[in-house]
Amino acid sequence: MRALLLKYTNYLIFFCLLILLIFLKVVNPSFIKSISFISFDLYQKVFPLVKQDSEVVIIDIDEKSLGKFGQFPWSRSVFAKIIDQVNTADPKAIGFDVFFTEKDKQSPEEIIKAYSLIPTDVAQFQNIKGHDEVFREGLEKSNSVIAVLGSNVSSHSNYDRSAKAKFLSKGGDPKQFTYSFPYSIGSLEKLEKSAKGLGSISFLDQTDGIIRSLPLIVRFNEKLYPTMGLEMVRVGNNQKNLYVELNEVGITRISSRPHKISSDPNGIIWIRYKKSQKSQYISASSVFDGKFDNKKFKDKYVLIGASAQGLFDLVKTPLGVTIPGVEVHANVIENILDQSYLIRNPNTYVFELLFSIIVACVTFFFSQRIKPKYSLSIFFGSFISVVIIGFSIFLFRSELIDISYPIFMLTVTFLTGLYFRFVEENKIALSNLQKEAKLLKERELAGEVQKSLFPDISRFENFIYASNVPARDVSGDYFDVVSVGKSEYFFTLADVSGKGIKAGMYMAKASSIFRTLSNLSYPLEKVVFGVNNELVEAKFKGMFVTAVFGKFNVETGDVTFVNAGHESIMVFDRSKNFEFIKSELPPIGIIKYFTESMVKSQTINLKNKTFVVYTDGVTEGYLKNGQELGADGVQKIVTSLENITPKNIVDTISNELNWGAEKLRDDITCLALDLQNTELIKKAKKKVENKSVDKDN
């Protein structure tokens, strides 16, 4: 059980992390909501709604108007005049994003109270109609909507107000699902009763202050009210009723003929904002003075609100800009009229969660199973897929899909998986380094042992010389020279297939067999016969040896040799006329010889000739210019030599290939035989010469 837990610890931790992420999404605290809002805002920033014309006009209480009429709030007579001016153009409805909670201080009756005047002093003023009355009459004559706001505290000017719209519901009671405020703030009773509609301008609290959505219907003191935009549409179409459709989950649709608006279960719609248009605004002072084209307001929804900085009616939108609060209601009206509002389907929430879980699990699984560079492509593929799905649904269905949290989950799980993979790879890398260090020591030891197997032929170098330069720690090449009499010698140069310690062991076996049989002074054919069959029996699977075996007599100059699958033998005379003798036998160690007659040998006389054998590491070795040496290259090196001796030939070829490259392509092994000088070099003399050279250095 413990072993199983250790094996799947990564997956267990991932599962716990996944449960935590799911729990956070279900609980949906404010910081998780803020993650989701990132994608909702991004949709609108990338693809903002563009409208050339609008059905809504905003009469702007701007700095210019404040300069004309003075500080706000203005006299109700100003608003009365503005209503009269707009009504001449026959608008659909006029909405006020302004409260009139107190009586107009500039009305005659308020002035009489303020200065404590007696009726006889102001008899002629008492018959003048008050500004509130003038404004009330203007509201009564027009399709007007006045703002009402939800509040958690009671207002001293409150009265038992009721909505102008009548609510008809089907499938349940909408009051069970709507957002509620215990109190409401509005305008004077007589003004509200003269208006055709009361519209809520309540926004839901947002953690970041950005207005993304609002409730189409809310409850104030247990009474339902439509939002300002919906009430404007109802009044503009001369409708008395609003229809609310519900199911067991909540509200599904709210209608004001002929418009039907889908909402979430709490009656909320998500606003799709357009880029602000200066042409949609007209200064309140211009309207007051009649400086406008009647077409500006003809059959339009007219909103009156403030953009002036000092009135603090500014809000942030998902587009990343700040706009007047009245423009939010203008966008709502436009969304209702052209069905451009956004939908946040409650069923989508389940889809998002399941999709997030699947993507996170798939990404984590692949991060543990495949190489990091490939798992990175899985991550980015999943990332792009999530983004494409979200934006496609937004563009084609106007539906909000939360891609931020799935991407957040995807990133967290991928980084977690990458961390586990990093730890695991580090463990493997550390283990491999330890193994490599151990193997390196073993190879170095094997290399030292192998070097001891190469014979010391320094006393024969006048007439036969060979050298080996291993490409790695252990060489797969081998040479040997065995003296079997006063004038007879056996020699071999071999190349084992493969590299490394196994090749070195195979070579060591081949060399020991060759030396043993050579010391018995057997005929060359019998030596080759014995070496081949012993290697076949050794059962080094898939390995073989290409080799040249030879026997020469320094007195007669005759050399008998066998080329078993090896490179061509180079022979040249004193005039440097070259001959290449090809192999007539397959490599040894492959097939068993049944008789010695299967071994084919050749004999030539070397009295006036030189015999050169080398492995493919010579012909396939790289020169400084990056080219392969080749057989022609060997021939050129020999041709360029003035002093033809075995040692000079071998050392020159080796030096051309072993020029200081970081790695050799293959082992460099070469042997040269020239019987022009067959005098043996005395070892004692050789030692004295070496000591003299060391002393001089």
pLDDT for 626 equals 84
pLDDT of 447 reads 57
pLDDT of residue 344: 87
**Residue 688 pLDDT:** 46
148 near 96, Cβ under 8 Å?
A: no
All domains of the chain in start order, with CATH: 50-338 (no CATH), 455-696 (3.60.40.10)
Which whole number is the average pLDDT over 1-28? 78
For residue 164, pLDDT over 90 is answered with: yes
Q: What's the rounded mean pLDDT across residues 41-49?
A: 91
How does residue 693 score in pLDDT terms, banded at 50, 70 and 90?
A: very low
Lowest mean pLDDT among 358-362, 497-501, 554-558: 497-501
Q: What is the pLDDT of residues 220-260, one digit of tens each?
A: 999 999 999 999 999 999 999 999 999 998 999 999 999 99
**Exposure of 22 in the CB half-sphere (CA atoms within 13 A):** 17
Q: Are 325 and 314 in contact (CB under 8 A)?
A: yes
Residue 371 has pLDDT above 60, yes or no: yes
How confident is the model over 627-675, as pLDDT tens digits? 998 999 999 999 999 899 999 999 999 998 888 777 888 888 999 999 9
pLDDT tens-digit map of 432-442: 887 877 766 75
Q: What's the predicted TM-score (pTM) here? A: 0.64
Is the CB of residue 48 less than 8 Å from the CB of residue 275?
yes
pLDDT grade, residue 451 (50/70/90)?
low
What local confidence, expressed as pLDDT, does residue 45 receive?
92
- Taking a C-beta distance cutoff of 8 angstroms, is the pair 315, 70 a contact? no
| Distance, CA of 391 to CA of 404 (rounded, Å) | 12
pLDDT, mean of residues 311-337: 91
Give residue 119's pLDDT: 60
pLDDT exceeds 50 at position 62? yes
Burial (CB < 10 A; 0-12, 13-18, 19+), residue 454, is middle
- List C-alpha distances in Å: 276 to 76, 161, 293, 364, 370: 29, 35, 21, 44, 50
- pLDDT one-digit tens code per residue, 34-44: 888 999 999 99
Comparing 440 with 536, the larger pLDDT belongs to 536
* Averaged pLDDT, 110-129: 58
Q: Please give the mean pLDDT across all residues of the chain.
A: 86
Name the band, by pLDDT with cuts 50, 70 and 90, for residue 695.
very low
Length of the chain (residues): 697
Strand order in the sheet with 609-614: 464-469, 668-674, 609-614, 569-573, 578-581
Nearest-CA neighbor of 171 among 110, 245, 101? 245
The pLDDT score that the predictor gives to residue 637 is: 92
> How many CA atoms are closer than 13 Å to the CA of 364, on its beta-carbon side?
23
**Rounded mean pLDDT, 573-579:** 93
Confidence at residue 697, expressed as pLDDT on a 0 to 100 scale? 45
Strand partners, 57: 302
pLDDT at 352 over 90: no
Q: What percentage of the chain carries pLDDT values higher than 90?
A: 52
